[in-house]
Structure 1
Amino acid sequence: MSAPTKSQRKRVHPVDEVLPLPKLAAYGFQHVVAFYAGAVLVPILIANALGLTSEELVMLITADLFTCGIASIIQAVGFKNVGVRLPLLQGVTFAGVTPIIAIGLAHGGGTASLLYVYGAVIVAGVFTFLIAPVFIKLLKFFPPVVTGTLITIIGLCLVPIGALDAVTNPATHEPDPTNLRWVLYALGTIAVIVAIQRIFRGFMSTIAVLLGLIAGCAVAFALGDMDFDRVGQASMFGFTPPFAFGMPRFDIVAIITMIIVMMIIAVESTGSTLATGEIVGKRVRPSDIGNVLRADGVATTIGGIFNSFPYTAFSENVGLVRLTGVKSRWVVAAAGVIMIMLGFLPKVAAIVASIPNPVLGGAALVLFATVAVVGIQTLGKVDFTDHRNVIIVTTSLALALLVTSYPGISSALPAGLDILFGSGISTGAIAAIALNIVFFHLGMKGPRVAGGGSISLNEVNSMTRERFTEVFGHVVQDVAWAADRAFEQRPFADTAALREAFQDAVLTGSTEQQEELLNAFHDLGAEDETGQVLAADHVALRNLDEDDHQDVVGLAAAYREHFGFPLIICARETERFDRVLRNGWSRIDNSAATEKAYALIEVAKIANYRFTDLVADANPIAAARFGRLNELS
Structure 2
Amino acid sequence: MLLFGVQHVLVMAATPISAIFLMSATLRLSPNLTVDLLSAALLLSGIGSLIQSLGPWKFGPRLPFVMLPGGAPLILFLSIAQQHGLPTATGAVLLTAVFTFLVLPLFARLLKFFPPLVIGTMIVIVGVNLVKVGALLVTGRPGAPGFADPAQLGLAFATIGLIVLFTRLLRGVLRQLAVLLGLAGGTALAFAAGQVHAGALFSGHVLGLPRPLPFGAPAFDLLAALPLMLYSLASMAEATGQTVINAEAVGKDIDIRSDVPRTVRGDALTSLLGGFFGLPLMVTSGENIGIVRVTGVRSRYVTAAAGVVLVLLGFLAPVARAISVMPSAVVGGAAMVVFAVITVLGVQMLGRARLEDHTSTVTCAVALALGLLPILVPGVYAGFPSGVRILLESGVAVGALTAAVLNVVFHHLGRRAPATASTASTASTAAGVPAEATGPAARP
Q: Tell me, yes or no, whether TM beats 0.5.
A: yes
The residue that corresponds to 1:405 in the other structure is 376
User: Given residue 68 of structure 2, which amino acid in structure 1 is its aligned partner?
Assistant: Q
Query: Residues 210, 334 of structure 1: CA spacing in aligned structure 2 closer, same or farther, 3 A cutoff?
Result: farther
The residue that corresponds to 2:271 in the other structure is 300
Unpaired segments of 5 or more residues in structure 2? none
Equivalent of 1:448 in 407, 416, 429? 416
User: Given residue 71 of structure 1, which amino acid in structure 2 is its aligned partner?
Assistant: G
- Describe the superposition over 1:90-138 as per-residue Cα deviations: whole angstroms up to 9, x where unpaired: 215222222244443xxxxxxxx73x65555434422312321212221
Equivalent of 2:78 in 66, 84, 97? 97
For normalisation by structure 2, the TM-score amounts to: 0.81
Equivalent of 1:360 in 314, 331, 344? 331
Q: Give the C-alpha shift of residue 139 in structure 1.
A: 0.2
Equivalent of 1:267 in 230, 234, 238? 234
Equivalent of 1:182 in 152, 169, 174? 152
Q: Give the C-alpha shift of residue 70 in structure 1.
A: 2.1
For normalisation by structure 1, the TM-score amounts to: 0.59
CA distance in 2, matches of 1:286, 1:413: 42
The residue that corresponds to 2:22 in the other structure is 41
Unpaired segments of 5 or more residues in structure 1? 1-19, 105-112, 451-494, 500-611
User: Given residue 48 of structure 2, which amino acid in structure 1 is its aligned partner?
Assistant: A
Q: Give the C-alpha shift of residue 206 in structure 1.
A: 2.4
Q: Give the C-alpha shift of residue 419 in structure 1.
A: 2.0
- Describe the superposition over 1:416-455 as per-residue Cα deviations: whole angstroms up to 9, x where unpaired: 322223322222212211221121223x2xx5235xxxxx
The residue that corresponds to 2:187 in the other structure is 217
Aligned pairs (5 A) from 1:338-353: 338-353=309-324
CA distance in 2, matches of 1:124, 1:232: 39
Equivalent of 1:420 in 383, 391, 406? 391
CA distance in 2, matches of 1:320, 1:625: 22
Equivalent of 1:141 in 113, 134, 140? 113
Q: Give the C-alpha shift of residue 67 in structure 1.
A: 2.8
CA distance in 1, matches of 2:438, 2:392: 27
CA distance in 2, matches of 1:200, 1:416: 50
Give the match's secondary structure for 1:449.
coil
- Describe the superposition over 1:308-349 as per-residue Cα deviations: whole angstroms up to 9, x where unpaired: 2441327xx546765996576666555544443343233220
- Cα pair 1:189 1:212 within 8 Å, conserved: yes
Equivalent of 2:132 in 156, 160, 165? 160
Equivalent of 1:313 in 267, 271, 283? 283
Q: Give the C-alpha shift of residue 625 in structure 1.
A: 5.8
- Describe the superposition over 1:367-391 as per-residue Cα deviations: whole angstroms up to 9, x where unpaired: 1122222222222212222111111
CA distance in 2, matches of 1:188, 1:325: 30
Give the match's secondary structure for 2:128.
helix
Q: Give the C-alpha shift of residue 165 in structure 1.
A: 2.6
The residue that corresponds to 1:122 in the other structure is 94
CA distance in 2, matches of 1:337, 1:407: 42
Equivalent of 1:626 in 426, 429, 435? 435
Name which structure has the greater RCO, CA cutoff 8 Å, separation 6+.
2
- Cα pair 1:262 1:310 within 8 Å, conserved: no
Q: Give the C-alpha shift of residue 150 in structure 1.
A: 2.0
- Describe the superposition over 1:566-590 as per-residue Cα deviations: whole angstroms up to 9, x where unpaired: xxxxxxxxxxxxxxxxxxxxxxxxx
- Describe the superposition over 1:193-218 as per-residue Cα deviations: whole angstroms up to 9, x where unpaired: 22222223223222222222222222
CA distance in 1, matches of 2:243, 2:16: 16
- Cα pair 2:100 2:268 within 8 Å, conserved: yes
- Describe the superposition over 1:21-44 as per-residue Cα deviations: whole angstroms up to 9, x where unpaired: 224213413311343121342355
Aligned pairs (5 A) from 1:370-381: 370-381=341-352
User: Given residue 237 of structure 2, which amino acid in structure 1 is its aligned partner?
Assistant: T
CA distance in 2, matches of 1:325, 1:622: 23
Identity %: 31
Query: Residues 191, 276 of structure 1: CA spacing in aligned structure 2 closer, same or farther, 3 A cutoff?
Result: farther
- Describe the superposition over 1:549-579 as per-residue Cα deviations: whole angstroms up to 9, x where unpaired: xxxxxxxxxxxxxxxxxxxxxxxxxxxxxxx
Query: Residues 615, 127 of structure 1: CA spacing in aligned structure 2 closer, same or farther, 3 A cutoff?
Result: closer
Q: Give the C-alpha shift of residue 60 in structure 1.
A: 4.2
